A and B are shown apart, each in its own frame.
Chain A
Amino acid sequence: MALLEVRDLRTSFSTRRGVVRAVDGVSFEVEQGRTLGIVGESGCGKSVTALSLMRLLPPSASIEGGTVTFDGRDLATLGRRDLESLRGSAIGMVFQDPMTSLNPANSIGAQIVETIRRHEPVGRKDADRRARELLEEVQIPRAAERLRDYPHQFSGGMRQRVMIAIAIACRPKLLIADEPTTALDVTVQDQILGLLDELRRSHEMAMVLITHDMGVIAGVAHDVIVMYAGQVVEQAPTLELFDRAEHPYTEALLRALPRIDAADARHGRLEAIAGRPPELIDPLPGCRFAPRCAYASLDACATTPQALRVIRPGHLVRTSHPASERPA
């Protein structure tokens, strides 16, 4: 059994204009020691998926269905207290903006110690020592001194390291990282992604990494799910996805990227995807990408519900027009 199993997760937001089905039947699993990347554009439901796992949703959202099984326990039926004790211990979390997750009025050391002591019966001294070791582990120079510093005294990259230290403080089995490097400069991003991967290995953690960046996926994910309009449209091992993308959306997304390895890019055009993602208040009964798809026969595709199906071992796709089944 996989460490994390998500089955048919459904999360909705109630808005003035109606019910928005932000996550609409998402399933995946993550094995111990593996990194699953969830990629998609704004509003595709990737972050809401991550927040739903931990039930960290805003009041306007509700989980309408599905199961989340972590380490053999069903998180959906877990009481508030049990869930809280799981968060920050067996499951660590890192978000995009570390400044909003850290308390500006407390020293870094105090915040790490607090996390450790909330979850484990350790004395002050031991907790202090562990806090120092954690800062060393996330490669913050002069760890012992920096424990006394406050969040604003750290750069963006260093703050994200502190968040990672807190996330791994209680030796989690799973780390959920939601756009952890999106706010950072590329050179800092590179270091943070390297650090996350190293920690995943040394701690034998599983990781769910949410990102909009196909390059980040290529760098750290073992497996990828591509989300579009609240659904998983494609799932595959990373190499397979980049070599043999099947879903017209995945293909279009990869082709729309400006590349640093494109010779004479100046005089070419990017292959843009026309239109934009649909509203999720009253989505099409069929393929949600159909109105933007180059291959769709609009009527049939937009009206016939599409199931996620296996196209090759380990490779799932939700479309009637996968690349390998199109006439040449």
Chain B
Amino acid sequence: MSEPRPLLSVRGLTKVFEARSGMPGRRGTHVRAVDDVSFDIAPGETLGIVGESGSGKSTTAYCVLRLVEPTSGRVEFDGTDITALGGGDLRKARRQMQIVFQDPYSSLDPRMRVRTVVSEPLRVHGIGDRASRRRRVDELLELVGLSPSAADRFPHEFSGGQRQRVGIARALALEPKLVVCDEPVSALDVSVQAQILNLLKDLQDELDLTYLFISHDLAVIRTVSDRIAVMRHGKVVETARADALFASPGHEYTQELLSAIPVPDPREMNRRRDAKLEARR
């Protein structure tokens, strides 16, 4: 079976931040936030990137979108190396790649009504006229499970889950092929989290979306991902199909993560505690 051409292909992606020391006479240090990261995502696939804070998972996502300029490496989107693009070509490429942030409230302008928030990408890219943009916003709101009346309200009038729906509607406005989801449910309560995860899955099926899904939460990552990359200290330590990763984690760090995540099963938690006590003897 021949593999389809990946929609996104990342090779040797590296981002070095220069941290100034802030003290005169002292040299700054280099932080390799993303260190030689490579992966592919096939059309319609979800690649999950999981890692703890400082693992470089979000910086990787920002480099893919060039919201952060990578230091080196290639990011090929649909066959085009976007690290080499500038100006108009980059803008065109970006229409195909959108992002959903963790906290939709801080990523939304509080003075803008939902209609303005959702239609902004259309205006920025000069798509349609007022009337057609209006129709498109209504359509998008319906798509994410909000009523059209939401358009005339302000973000602060919504609950966290509804705000995330607004964030998703905005990300979908330009009909992107790739959506980067950066901790999209981390700020949400469990019951709402499930609604948003289901919505993201439904939208993927309906619109043929490809996801790069970033999360610190292994259970969330498992629910959405076809394949999972585990990151630590800027490096991908392991990439595997989701079920395989959980059934037989290859890397020691993946094992450590899996045995640290609390599961809603008191017997399993007791087993782990006994195993730990045993190991210490």
Residues of chain A at the chain B interface (Cβ within 8 Å): 41-42, 185-187, 189-190, 193-194, 197, 212-220, 238-239, 242, 252-254, 256-266, 268-274, 276
Residues of chain B at the chain A interface (Cβ within 8 Å): 46, 52-53, 159, 161, 189-195, 197-198, 201, 216-220, 222-226, 242-243, 246, 256-269, 272-273, 276
Contacts of A217 in B (CB 8 A): 264
Contacts of A238 in B (CB 8 A): 266
Contacts of B257 in A (CB 8 A): 186-187
Contact B191 A242 (CB under 8 A): no
Contacts of B262 in A (CB 8 A): 186, 189-190, 193, 213, 215-216, 218-219
CA distance in complex: A190, B246 (Å): 18
Contacts of A256 in B (CB 8 A): 190-191, 193-194
Contact A259 B219 (CB under 8 A): yes
CA distance in complex: A30, B256 (Å): 33
CA distance in complex: A252, B226 (Å): 26
Knowing A41-B189, A189-B260, say if A269 contacts B201 (CB, 8 Å). yes
The CB with the most chain A CB atoms within 10 A, among B194, B218, B259, B265, is that of B194
Contact A263 B216 (CB under 8 A): no
Q: How far is the CB of B212 from chain A (nearest CB, A)?
A: 15
Q: How far is the CB of A81 from chain B (nearest CB, A)?
A: 39
Contact A185 B53 (CB under 8 A): yes
Further pairs besides A186-B260, A266-B46: 12, Cβ < 8 Å: A185-B52, A187-B52, A187-B260, A189-B260, A219-B262, A256-B190, A256-B191, A259-B222, A269-B198, A272-B198, A273-B194, A274-B195
Ranked nearest first, the 4 interchain pairs of A and B with the lowest CB-CB distance are A215-B262, A272-B194, A273-B191, A190-B260
Q: Which of A189, A239, A266, A274 contacts B225 (CB 8 A)?
A: A266
Contact B191 A266 (CB under 8 A): no
Q: Which of A190, A214, A260, A270 contacts B218 (CB 8 A)?
A: A260
CA distance in complex: A42, B271 (Å): 30
Contacts of A216 in B (CB 8 A): 262
The CB with the most chain B CB atoms within 10 A, among A197, A214, A260, is that of A260
CA distance in complex: A91, B237 (Å): 44
Knowing A190-B262, A215-B262, say if A272 contacts B223 (CB, 8 Å). no
Q: Which of B198, B226, B261, B266 contacts A260 (CB 8 A)?
A: B261
A-B contact pairs, 28 of them (CB 8 A): A41-B191, A185-B216, A186-B52, A186-B218, A186-B257, A186-B260, A186-B261, A187-B260, A190-B259, A193-B262, A194-B273, A214-B190, A215-B263, A217-B264, A218-B265, A218-B269, A242-B266, A257-B264, A258-B222, A260-B218, A260-B246, A260-B261, A261-B246, A265-B223, A266-B222, A270-B197, A270-B223, A273-B194
Q: Which of B53, B195, B225, B261 contacts A272 (CB 8 A)?
A: B195
